[in-house]
Amino acid sequence: MTARETREYQRGQVALRAMTYRDVAILWRRLDLERLDATFPDFAAATLVLIAQRREMSAALARTYIAKLRAGVDGKAPPIATPTIPSGDVLASLRAKSVISIKVAMTRGTALDRASKAALVRTMGTVDKYVGDAGRNLILESVQTDPAASGWVRRSLGTCDFCALLAGVTNGAGDTFPRHDHCGCQPEPVYRGKRIKEAPRAAWNRLSPSDIASLSDGTPLGNKVAAKIQQAFTIGKQTVTIETSLTPAQTEALLDDIQDVLAKAGDQIADRSITFHVPSGDRMFRSKNSITGGYVTNGTSTVNLNPRVAAGELNDLVTETLMPAYGDVDFLKYTITHELGHILDGAHTHTRPHVHDHSGRLITERIARDATELFKENRKELSAYGKKNVVESYAEAFAQWVLGGPGSSPVADAYARKYGWK
């Protein structure tokens, strides 16, 4: 059962990596790109705590793995504590991959935003290496101290040339374990009297694309287990849940766009509890040709975003059906703002028919009359999409007012005055 147990262990470490990537992306927001040196200590202190916690989890996975492989072997394995690392070394690595990396990139003419995103990926790689080393080194030390162990075999989930070359190589108990940032390789202990039930090279050749991690470019793992992990973030009172596989850079861009729109929209939105959801397998976004940016189900406070839009794949979409403000922002930011307009509309039932007031009386007539009159009076100034109906006109006017600002459009100002947008 060695092959199955090893795959289970690797996938456990993959899942841990996905969690760590997510949390590093959150902590990264503590860095003020205009004040890197001043804000680095806060980022570094929080990251050191994260590394320590995740190293214990990595080591725990390794202990369970060793116990399974060693079942039936004579004698007891000596206890091994979680390997330690000098905090000074970690701090130096974090500074080099974050602050110094950004500064060097900017001296070469790289834009600050792009330099930050590249540095985030490098920092994730360093953090992941320190976390993963806890499990790897515990296994290596156990092989060295356990009389029943004869060595270890390198098992890989990577496609880079370095890992492919070393995959399946059998090593002695005292041999070192070469690895790199974002490396998914693990040592598999070999015990005397127990055969390796699957040839190492055959195991490598058997890996399917869905089981293979993209390690050389620093993108998150494509392992099935990692892909199913739902990432969750909080921005004030808002929650962002991501079911699909987004890279750290894509996740950061999504969070940045949400935060920017919330800041522009003001307290009328920021004070509400809203969920931004990037679903997996949603029928509304199933077609690859769909340019539907998102939707809000009537009566809810959840913005469902098209995964392709959330990933920035449709940001260069050319459309003349939207308000002029779309020309100054990407499609993701425009979609977020438009859908927030629907939520604000629904909260006050400005355009929604068949809504009851607190006494149970229908207030459809007043709502429909006010909204319809405003719609007709300003229809000429609305986008083609806003001209569809009274509901979309509200969301389009809101998007223009938030992104273009007051005074940017007569129709947006008219809606703002009517509905008291702040």
Annotate 341-378 with DSSP letters as a single string. HHHHHHHHTSS-SS-B-TTS-B-HHHHHHHHHHHHHHT
Range of the domain at 59: 2-226
Pairwise CA distance, residues 231 & 238, whole Å: 14
Are residues 55 and 68 part of one domain?
Answer: yes
Residue 375 belongs to a domain with what CATH number? 3.40.390
Say how many C-beta atoms besides its own lie within 10 A of residue 205's C-beta.
10
User: Which residue among 209, 226, 243 closes a domain?
Assistant: 226
pLDDT at 221: 34
How many domains does the chain divide into? Answer: 2
pLDDT at 407: 92
Are residues 329 and 204 part of one domain?
Answer: no
Residue with tokens 């629904």: 346
pLDDT at 200: 41
Are residues 270 and 209 part of one domain?
Answer: no
Helices (H), 184-313: 200-206, 224-227, 248-265, 267-270, 307-310
User: Which residue among 200, 226, 252 closes a domain?
Assistant: 226
pLDDT at 2: 63
pLDDT at 160: 60
Are residues 250 and 217 part of one domain?
Answer: no
| 3-state class percentages of the chain: helix first, strand second, coil last, to nearest 5 | 55, 10, 35
| Of residues 125, 141, 134, the one with CA closest to residue 53 | 134
pLDDT (tens, 9 = 90+) of the chain, 422 residues, equals: 466 788 888 888 888 888 898 889 889 989 998 899 999 999 999 999 999 999 999 999 999 999 888 887 877 877 888 888 878 889 999 999 999 999 998 998 888 888 898 899 889 989 999 999 999 999 999 999 998 888 888 887 654 656 666 777 677 777 888 887 778 888 988 887 655 544 444 444 544 444 444 332 333 333 332 333 345 666 667 778 777 777 767 887 888 888 889 889 888 887 788 888 888 777 788 776 667 899 987 667 889 999 999 988 887 777 888 998 898 888 999 999 999 998 888 766 555 544 433 344 443 444 556 777 888 888 888 889 888 888 889 999 999 999 999 999 999 999 999 888 88
Residue with tokens 């005397």: 192
User: Which residue among 166, 200, 226 closes a domain?
Assistant: 226
Are residues 361 and 246 part of one domain?
Answer: yes
Are residues 253 and 144 part of one domain?
Answer: no
pLDDT at 305: 93
pLDDT at 134: 93
pLDDT at 38: 94
Are residues 236 and 222 part of one domain?
Answer: no
Residues 203, 4 contacting (CB under 8 angstroms):
no
The residues facing 233 across adjacent strands are 240
Tell me the pTM.
0.50
- Whole-number Cα distances in Å, 186 to 21, 137, 153, 244: 19, 10, 8, 26
Q: In the sheet that 186-191 helps form, which strands lie side by side, from edge to edge?
A: 170-172, 149-155, 186-191
pLDDT at 74: 79
Are residues 165 and 81 part of one domain?
Answer: yes
232's enclosing H/E stretch is strand 231-235
Are residues 304 and 195 part of one domain?
Answer: no
Are residues 264 and 179 part of one domain?
Answer: no
Are residues 342 and 241 part of one domain?
Answer: yes
| Of residues 296, 306, 251, 245, the one with CA closest to residue 269 | 296
pLDDT at 193: 61
pLDDT at 347: 63
Are residues 219 and 249 part of one domain?
Answer: no
